A and B are shown apart, each in its own frame.
Chain A
Amino acid sequence: MSEPFALLLTLLVLLTAGWIVTVRERRAAVFGFIAYGLLLALVWIRLAAVDVALTEAAIGGGATGVLLLRVSARLGSIRGMSAPPGLATRWIAGVLCAGVSLALMALVLALPDPAPSLAAAAMEPIGRTGLGNPVTAVLLAYRALDTFLEIIVLLLALIGVWSLGADRFWGGEPAAWRTGPPSPALVFLARVLPPFGIVIAGYLFWIGADEPGGKFQASTILAAMWLLAMMAGLAPPPRTGARGLRAALVAGPLVFLAIGFAGLWWADGFLAYPDAFAKPLIILIEAALAVSIVAALALMVAGPAERLPRR
């Protein structure tokens, strides 16, 4: 990628950010945010961080975008709870933000060049994991505890969303998209896209061991396909109390913990893998995590239960 292109990209990122902050209309801001996520993904590609780019596109642009669109639709014409901030407040906030941004720029320029990095250190013992992608090695081996707990954070967010529903609906179905019959175009897309989505997700999942990609990006695509089917009315959303759904949500963390503790017997400690079986074990953990992530992401967008559970 050439320098003029990088400059253009930077300019576009700044303009989109400005658009999101200043635009009056809620939906327009959300569309701006989705575009912003995709532009940032390009920035990460420019910085040769393809793993981050894929995640930014999937989560920052995709999943968060859908979530915001759903919120925007549900808010309807409701206005803010309190009066919008006055001109003086906005100016103060703007000046403060600009000050922090400028200070950050100065600090980034003050950082040592070349930057100290663990990139080389992360490649050195990678043979022990059987992986080729150092990002996956960081996520599933070196800093596996962080990854494990991030999945728990995702579950907490889901429980938080569920807890906002009414007591009597607990365990029932989320009322996904009941505003009217789905448009024929949506139904068509929901029939055509999922096969492609599943193949792409499977590919991203599998190459994640050696190339950029992995369970998180793959899970987001799968969750998106599922949501598409739900939106088009082709697949009813599951009851939030359904036994299968609950099992899917905890499958990832439990498999992760089981293999982690098994490390006490067959390797050098908790979360250690025996060298000979490291890669299959890591793939097993990733597969189980993918199940939980798909369920958590899709159900989070679907929202809290809004229909009576079947007893």
Chain B
Amino acid sequence: MMPVPVNDAASLLLVLAVLLPILGLCAMLGLRGLHPERVARVAVPLGVALAVAVLVEVWTGGQALHYTLGDWEPPLGLRLRADGLSAVMLVLSAVIILAAALFSQRQFRTPEGIAGDTRAPFTFWSMLMAMWSALNLVFLGEDLFNFFVALELLTFSAVTLVCLDGRTATLHAALRYLLFALLGSVLYLLGVALIYGRYGVLDIGLLHELVQADPVTLAAVAMMTVGLMAKASLFPLHLWLPPAHAGAPPAASAVLSALVVKAPFFLILRLWFDLLPPLPSPLAGQLLAALGAGAILLCSLVALRQARLKLLIAYSTVAQIGYLFLMFPLAAGPLAFWETIGWTGGVLQLVSHAFAKAAMFLAAGLIAETLGHDRIGEFAGLARRLPVAVAAFALAGLSLMGLPPSGGFNAKLLLLSAAAASGQWWIAAVILAGGMLAAGYVFRVLGAAMADGPAGEAGGPPSPLARQLVVLALALVAVALGFVPLQPFALLGIGREVLP
């Protein structure tokens, strides 16, 4: 039986983590004179502090935090819950958003001498706030319909950011993204409706006790999974991602690739590990892993052939998402899933990819600003012009390739060991091949940038050092994750064994 959740001061942090960004959004929308970037300067540090406080609270307390909203217990009411994994995701989001906000303070500043707000800064900051709130709700929610609302918030804010510059090409990309995302929403909602029709409750903890592997349940979870796959851009539903992530402003691309596609993946994890009973057949997990393998191999190959840096990074995102889906067959076995190295490796891949990819997109933003383009073929001389940005790109690339020391290395080593230990050699082969291909596309960019050439002189003034250091810091975190121990972490297990 679950412990009775108590609404104490510590668990109120969860409510604040979801609502603080919304308050920021309301301040930006309601009071034009405040200027959105100034509101963000207050809201972002506060949000980071909240996320860190939740992590500290969960870590030191050794158990999950719960907050029952309005004191209405599920199944009637809603609940927020932070276990070890959610706390890690909260802090990850907060740090990436902090970096994106620091990077964008100058780019999206309301011009001097204007009393009200202006289009691009207002849209950027308000949507960043909404997206943050949606992410936090995905990581803290416990109710299938509540997740749907979070996904809607996420979709509307993400799509708007994609077409922020208003060019025909980005509008086209945003519209395509919207159609894929709405298809995903419809499938997800159909699944939720079937689950409610079958069990009459939507709280994950309650469902966990009721659920049976009957056709209706499996069909519902399958539909929800496909819907979430479209939103997470798992191969072959990835077609919308490259133009969308390559067309958004750099800070938005960083958040989209690092966090927004991870949110639906996080929900797939919750469905498969927290809601469903252990499946009688391993076939479904193998199928997801096969799609992941397809993403790794095909999209890495496509990334190799890209002429533009931002598109290359976007295709790399699709490939790296593929690794996450290798978790499903690798976390199976006699152990509890959170004690397997397969699960730990997957979570580490999620976190280190977030840092590495955010660093890469921001570095690409600096490069495009300085050169006025992002055509890899004309990068010769770049390393002399923007040494810090190129170094950050290289360090982030280390993690994507899976070379030590980096978070990506540890993640891929854990996944590889899990694949070898369970005799799933084809997965091991895919992980190795994916690393080689990633090395191919990363070195293609570095090789071009290191060459001697005219890019050293042309274009606008170099970016301020502070912005370059933000990018470097993100890449260094991706590297530093290479020093975490190669074993399941106690933190990620907190709150798992007493799953509500």
A residues with a Cβ closer than 8 A to B are 81, 103-104, 107-108, 110-112, 115-118, 121-122, 125, 141-146, 149-150, 152-153, 155-157, 159-160, 162-167, 170-171, 241, 243, 246-247, 249-250, 253-254, 257, 263-264, 267-273, 309, 311
Known: A156-B127, A246-B30. 18 other contacts (CB 8 A): A111-B194, A118-B75, A141-B70, A143-B77, A143-B146, A145-B78, A153-B152, A156-B153, A170-B119, A249-B30, A253-B22, A254-B26, A268-B7, A270-B67, A271-B69, A271-B70, A272-B71, A311-B115
Does B444 belong to the interface (CB within 8 Å)? no
Interface stretch, picked from B98-106, B196-204, B330-338, B412-420, is B196-204
Interface stretch, picked from B155-163, B246-254, B266-274, B360-368, is B155-163
Q: Are A149 and B164 in contact (CB under 8 A)?
A: no
Q: Are A116 and B156 in contact (CB under 8 A)?
A: no
Residues of B within 8 A of A263 (CB): 70
Does B123 belong to the interface (CB within 8 Å)? yes
8 A Cβ contacts from B208-233 to A: 215-216, 219-220
Bound-complex Cα distance A264 to B145 (A): 25
Measured as residues with beta carbon below 8 angstroms from the partner, the interface class of chain B is 35 or more
Does B46 belong to the interface (CB within 8 Å)? no
Q: Are B199 and A116 in contact (CB under 8 A)?
A: yes
Q: Are A107 and B194 in contact (CB under 8 A)?
A: yes
From residue A58, how far is it (CB to closest CB) to chain B in Å?
19
Least CB separation from A146: chain B residue: B149
A107-B216, A156-B157 known; A243-B67 Cβ under 8 A:
no
B residues with a Cβ closer than 8 A to A are 7, 12, 15, 19, 22-23, 25-26, 29-32, 67-72, 75-78, 115-120, 122-123, 126-127, 130, 133, 137, 145-146, 149-150, 152-153, 156-157, 159-160, 163-164, 166, 171-172, 190, 194, 197-201, 215-216, 219-220
Residues of A within 8 A of B137 (CB): 149
Residues of B within 8 A of A167 (CB): 118-120
Q: Are A108 and B197 in contact (CB under 8 A)?
A: yes
8 residue pairs bridging A and B, Cβ less than 8 Å apart: A115-B197, A115-B200, A116-B198, A118-B76, A145-B69, A156-B130, A170-B119, A246-B31
Q: Are B160 and A156 in contact (CB under 8 A)?
A: yes
Q: Are A118 and B200 in contact (CB under 8 A)?
A: yes
A163-B119, A164-B163, A249-B29 known; A117-B200 Cβ under 8 A:
yes
Bound-complex Cα distance A63 to B263 (A): 31
Q: Are B200 and A146 in contact (CB under 8 A)?
A: no
Q: Are A152 and B22 in contact (CB under 8 A)?
A: yes
Residues of B within 8 A of A142 (CB): 70, 72, 76-78
Q: Are A159 and B70 in contact (CB under 8 A)?
A: no
Residues of A within 8 A of B68 (CB): 269
Residues of A within 8 A of B77 (CB): 142-143
Least CB separation from A311: chain B residue: B115
Bound-complex Cα distance A272 to B117 (A): 35
The majority secondary structure among interface residues of chain A is helix
A111-B197, A246-B30, A250-B29 known; A156-B71 Cβ under 8 A:
no
Please indicate which of the listed interface residues B119, B149, B172 has the most CB atoms of chain A within 10 Å of its own CB. B119
Bound-complex Cα distance A163 to B198 (A): 42
Least CB separation from A159: chain B residue: B126
Bound-complex Cα distance A264 to B11 (A): 13
Bound-complex Cα distance A159 to B36 (A): 14
Bound-complex Cα distance A85 to B229 (A): 24
Q: Are A111 and B198 in contact (CB under 8 A)?
A: yes
Bound-complex Cα distance A122 to B77 (A): 10
Q: Name the 9 nearest CB pairs between A and B, nearest first.
A: A116-B200, A250-B30, A271-B70, A268-B71, A170-B119, A156-B156, A163-B123, A160-B160, A250-B26
From residue A263, how far is it (CB to closest CB) to chain B in Å?
7
Q: Are B117 and A241 in contact (CB under 8 A)?
A: yes
Residues of B within 8 A of A166 (CB): 119, 166
From residue A17, how far is it (CB to closest CB) to chain B in Å?
15
Bound-complex Cα distance A162 to B118 (A): 11
Residues of B within 8 A of A144 (CB): 69-70
From residue B24, how far is it (CB to closest CB) to chain A in Å?
12
Please indicate which of the listed interface residues A108, A152, A167, A257 has the most CB atoms of chain B within 10 Å of its own CB. A152
Bound-complex Cα distance A62 to B135 (A): 32
Residues of B within 8 A of A125 (CB): 72, 76
Please indicate which of the listed interface residues A81, A170, A273 has the most CB atoms of chain B within 10 Å of its own CB. A170
A107-B215, A144-B70 known; A270-B78 Cβ under 8 A:
no
A118-B200, A156-B130, A267-B71 known; A164-B166 Cβ under 8 A:
yes
Please indicate which of the listed interface residues B22, B72, B130 has the most CB atoms of chain A within 10 Å of its own CB. B72
From residue B180, how far is it (CB to closest CB) to chain A in Å?
15
Q: Are B164 and A163 in contact (CB under 8 A)?
A: yes
Q: Pick the residue among A107, A121, A153, A162 that contacts B153 (CB under 8 A).
A: A153
From residue B36, how far is it (CB to closest CB) to chain A in Å?
11
Q: Are B149 and A159 in contact (CB under 8 A)?
A: no
A145-B78, A171-B116 known; A153-B70 Cβ under 8 A:
no
